[in-house]
Chains A and B, each alone.
Chain A
Amino acid sequence: QSALTQPASVSGSPGQSITISCTGTSSDVGGYDYVSWYQQHPGKVPKLIIYDVSNRPSGVSNRFSGSKSGNTASLTISGLQAEDEADYYCSAHTSGTTLGVFGGGTKLTVL
């Protein structure tokens, strides 16, 4: 099972909005509304920030939002803050003999 495709890096200035894409196939991203996103600061444990494409867990800022179109899911962070600088990973349920897959990760730099 191939990893989902994410840009290696994105950047933005404080206050701006950025979007990170996550491209898969009809067997994963496009086939189910089971896409999740994780934030990982250096040396820290990953944190769930979006599940089921667009739902936010309790306690996650509403500056984080998710969407999906076809085989591509997207994470948008609005009102960028310095603390948003981290690695972001998407994950999706897959059909077949495995169950799920992660994207390669995107490093967000806040300029």
Chain B
Amino acid sequence: EVQLVESGGGVIQPGGSLRLSCTASGFTFSTYGMNWVRQAPGKGLEWISYISSNSGGIFYADSVKGRFTISRDNAKNSLFLHMNSLRDEDTAVYYCARGVHMFISGWYFDYWGRGTLVTVSS
């Protein structure tokens, strides 16, 4: 069974930093692209970052570019999101979501974690 479990959320002051983690199980983590998607309270989904299976391809949404860094450790089946210079508008549930297999072209998220809440507030 595919499982994605996020951790690392919490309350942080504006301008602060936080690192989110996502631990994967039930599939060969090193062969899938991975994503972070967030959802502000009462709002819609926002894709924020993607990392390819071998970390060779990394993309960000304009809203987080230059402040957030995505990374992964295939040996530990883990995905990370380093968040710096946090703003009030970064308050959201952050989901880890599996992308497509390395040998497939496409754009979808077929498995999601339950999310971790990040609250930016003074």
Interface residues of A (CB under 8 A from B): 1, 3, 32, 34-36, 38, 40, 45-48, 51-52, 57, 87, 89, 91-93, 97-105
Interface residues of B (CB under 8 A from A): 37, 44-47, 50, 59-62, 65, 95, 105-110, 112-115
Q: For residue B59, give the distance in angstroms from its CB to the closest CB of chain A.
A: 4
User: In the complex, what residue of chain B is closest to A57 when comparing beta carbons?
Assistant: B110
Please state if B45 and A99 are interface contacts (CB–CB under 8 Å): no
Q: A45-B112, A45-B115 are in contact. Are A100 and B47 (CB under 8 A)?
A: yes
A48 to B97 Cα, complex, angstroms = 11
Q: For residue A111, give the distance in angstroms from its CB to the closest CB of chain B.
A: 23
A47 to B44 Cα, complex, angstroms = 14
Please state if A32 and B107 are interface contacts (CB–CB under 8 Å): yes
